[in-house]
Structure 1
Amino acid sequence: MRSLYLIAGAMLAAQTSAQVAVSPLPPVATQGNAVLRVGTEVPLRLSEELTTKGKSLRTGHRFHLQVSEPVVVNGVTVIPVGSQAVGEVTDVRNKGMWGKSGKLNARILYVMANGRQIRLSGAFDDKGTAGGVGAVAVSALVFWPAGFFMTGTSAKVPAGTIIKAFVDEDVPLNIVASNPAPMTIAPQAQRMTVQSAIGQK
């Protein structure tokens, strides 16, 4: 009789183990309605200096930036720190005579995230300091060449400058929810269950 109980207990343990081992994981849940909305702020850091010094900067020049803070939707980072972004110089004025200062204008075009180009909006500018406009006006009346040769300073935006940009299009997201680890039963625990069942009989 004891042998029958032992066999029955072993079969029960084996059946329970099989059920735990082969039970399928629940299907992966997704949040299909998550969206990266227009107007979401994307903080950027300029990767290179922009300056009118040397008169080499031109309208249409493309420059690079990096995302300085993660962009998060529903607790998930969708644009990580370090993602590459691109901007474009839209206007350049070099410094000149009569104290005229340099000036530049630029805009942000897009950022790359997870292999996708996301359109951004945002603009910035810088203007150099005029070279003593009041003094130039006076000097020009007394001695014309003195005012003519006085120049302003160049416009400059240093590398590392933080620039705010904004998402310029709604971007649908497919955020994958994490699953809990499957439950397992240790072999030793199974033997203890069989022995307990035999002892009770």
Structure 2
Amino acid sequence: MLAGSLVLILAFVQVGSSQETSSAAATTTAAPAAAVAQAPEKYTLAEGTDVELQFAQDLSSSTSFEGDPVALTLVKDLKVGDVVVAKAGSSAYGVVTKAHKSGMMGKSGQLDIRLDYLKAGDNKIKLRETKGKESGGGIKGALSSPFGRVKHGKNVEINVGDPLHAYVAQDILLPPVS
């Protein structure tokens, strides 16, 4: 009788373990398919792509200091083909690298800004002020002249909404925004 019960127990163990193995295999094969379905497609935003920004704050060479943050806003959606990878209104950031008040004897004020990045979701898109790679990464006081506010003996004044044209500094893979 002992031999008969031992056979029955072994048979039960084999049936139970084969069911666990087949359910584990089903789980293993289903998981990669679900992971692939959830992975968003990414698109390459090319280096040199135009980026239209506007200042989100007033700046003046008389009140700014080296190291002050500079806030900007994306004016138009950034697209790769027809796919939007950064929505208008996204925040961009820079920093004041030099600020000098206007001086005596007609010396003009100076305000230099370095562009850093545009925030697109969890990604930071590095920016620069020239299309070519030879850029030093900063915006000199002379670049402020398109604002029409640089006059001999005056401070550099930049107002909220003043435009700034920038470029993507390097290729970056980005998911589409929803």
Under TM normalisation by the shorter chain, which class is it? Answer: 0.5 to 0.7
**Distance in 1 (alpha carbons) for counterparts of 2:115 and 2:172:** 18
Q: Match of 2:96?
A: 89
Q: TM-score, normalised by structure 1?
A: 0.56
Q: Out of 62, 66, 72, which is 2:69 matched to? A: 62
Write the letter of the residue equivalent to 1:89. Answer: V
SS of the residue aligned with 2:106? coil
Contact residue 123 and residue 174 of structure 2 kept, 8 A: no
SS of the residue aligned with 2:164? strand
**1:123-142 deviation line (CA, Å, top 9, x unaligned):** 35336422xxxxxxxxxxxx
1:46 aligns with 2:64: no
Q: Give 1:113-132 correspondences, 5 Å limit.
A: 113-122=120-129, 123=139, 125=141, 126=144, 128-130=150-152
**Distance in 2 (alpha carbons) for counterparts of 1:85 and 1:94:** 25
- RMSD (CA atoms): 2.5
Percent identical residues:
28
Report how many residues are paired.
127
Write the letter of the residue equivalent to 1:50. Answer: L
**Distance in 2 (alpha carbons) for counterparts of 1:124 and 1:77:** 31
Contact residue 103 and residue 154 of structure 1 kept, 8 A: yes
Contact residue 118 and residue 124 of structure 2 kept, 8 A: yes
Q: Considering only CA atoms, is the larger Rg found in Structure 1 or Structure 2?
A: 1
1:72 aligns with 2:79: yes
Runs of 4+ in structure 1 off by over 4 angstroms are 27-33
**1:134-173 deviation line (CA, Å, top 9, x unaligned):** xxxxxxxxxxxxxxxxxx2211111101111111121123
Q: TM-score, normalised by structure 2?
A: 0.63
SS of the residue aligned with 1:98? helix
5+ residue gaps, structure 2, are 1-35, 130-138
